[in-house]
Amino acid sequence: MAGLEEVLAEELVGLGANNLQIGNRMVSFEGNLELLYRANFQCRTALRILRPVYQFKARTTDDIYKKVKAMNWAEHLSVEKTFAIDAVTFSNYFTHSKFVAYRVKDAIADYFLAKTGQRPNVDIENPDLLINFHVSEETCTLSFDSSGESLHKRGYRMEQTEAPLNEVLAAGIILKTGWKGDSDFIDPMCGSGTFLIEAALIAKNIAPGVYRKSFAFEKWENFDSELLEEIFNDDSAEREFAHQIIGSDIDHKAVAISKANIKNAGLANMIQVEVKDMQSYEKAPFETGLLIANPPYGERLKPESLDNLYSMIGERLKHVFTGYTAWILSYKKECFDKIGLKPSKKFPFINGSLPCELRKYDIFAGKKYADKQVNL
């Protein structure tokens, strides 16, 4: 995910990955089968883990067909199994990804037809082998998708609010702040509770994969069920958490959804949530701590209401949350301007399709901001 490449690289290094290379929205690495399983099970900021199998040059779909058909597909698939192709093209030679996917599919089907007289079936919904075919100009990379459903779909969500934060983005933002459970944590605009749940998982070092029902690699020919079971049952890295995580939201329905998701994640004993407007905070719940918020961006608010909201956020930060480190994720510069505080750090992110920014505010006690107007 854009903006989280370095965070993901750190996670992979921690798992023992070698020869890392950071690219645009991707990190390549080397490792064994155990690392592949652990990356799916433990990485908080990966959307999917691909295993490259074959790379070649091609300028026509006939070239692609011949190269793919020449592979030894019997090592990876049988006529009794199903497969699907996910093709992505960034090329002047190949402008229609669906046609590329069609030719890859034909090559695999014709390989088995020539060998066995039968073709394996395509199953778009739940294939035994999900194949990712990536084309960058004339470089074609065929990979096996080891994850299946995107890894941001942890499995703990019962319900969600209208614009829920992606779990991978939430975890990445928390890791980007450097917080790992070493202080109290608050989200005063918690929505469906994504920041709260991801913070609890990070604080306890619980792998996000514990909630997943399955991974695509479980259907591979070389799947090692004992290895996965060993990884799944290994809680030796989990740790104690000596602080508190609390959340609040002005919306009763959002709080109810948040509580349901927290309970489903088995974290009700770690997280407290209540119905409360951020403006209602007259006193900070902790002496110091980390505050993270993802306020509305304005799609459903009038401009004057949006101005008032962000002005209120700045006012509460200055007068209530002194001593805290605050991180605000938002979309428009004018929203940040209304906060009226100077950020010490800025990080760009993509939230859905929106180019957003995460800004850090160090809220000092005293008159640091009282004597002058701060212009961003």
SS3 (DSSP) at 103:
helix
Convert the pLDDT of each residue in 204-242 to its tens digit.
999 999 999 999 999 998 899 999 999 999 988 899 999
Q: What are phi and psi of 267, to 5 degrees?
A: -120, 15
100 phi/psi in degrees, rounded to 5: -60, -45
Extents of the domains making up the chain: 5-145, 167-210+238-362
The confidence score (pLDDT) of residue 294 equals 94
Distances (CA, A) of 264 to 235, 257, 258: 19, 11, 10
> In this predicted structure, what is the pLDDT of residue 335?
87
> Which pLDDT belongs to residue 376?
44
Q: Give the max Cα distance, the chain.
A: 83
Backbone dihedral angles phi then psi of residue 102, each to the nearest 5 degrees: -60, -40
Look at residue 115 in the predicted model and tell me its pLDDT: 94
Report CA 259 to chain centroid distance, whole Å: 21
> Global pTM?
0.90
* pLDDT tens per residue across all 376 residues of the chain: 788 999 999 999 999 999 999 988 899 999 999 999 999 999 999 999 999 999 999 999 999 999 999 999 999 999 999 999 999 999 999 999 999 999 999 999 999 999 999 999 999 989 999 999 999 999 999 999 999 999 999 989 887 766 678 999 999 999 999 999 999 999 999 999 999 999 999 999 999 999 999 999 999 988 999 999 999 999 888 999 999 999 999 999 999 999 999 999 999 999 999 999 999 999 999 999 999 999 987 666 566 788 899 999 999 999 999 999 999 999 888 889 999 999 999 999 888 888 899 999 999 875 544 444 444 4
pLDDT value of position 163 = 63
Spatial CA neighbour of 15 closest among 38, 37, 32, 45 = 38
Supply the DSSP string of 320-331, one letter for each residue: T-TT-EEEEEES
Could you say which architecture CATH assigns to the domain 5-145? Answer: 2-Layer Sandwich (3.30)
Query: What is the rounded CA–CA span in Å between residue 1 and residue 159?
Result: 23
Give CATH superfamily name and number for 167-210+238-362: Vaccinia Virus protein VP39 (3.40.50.150)
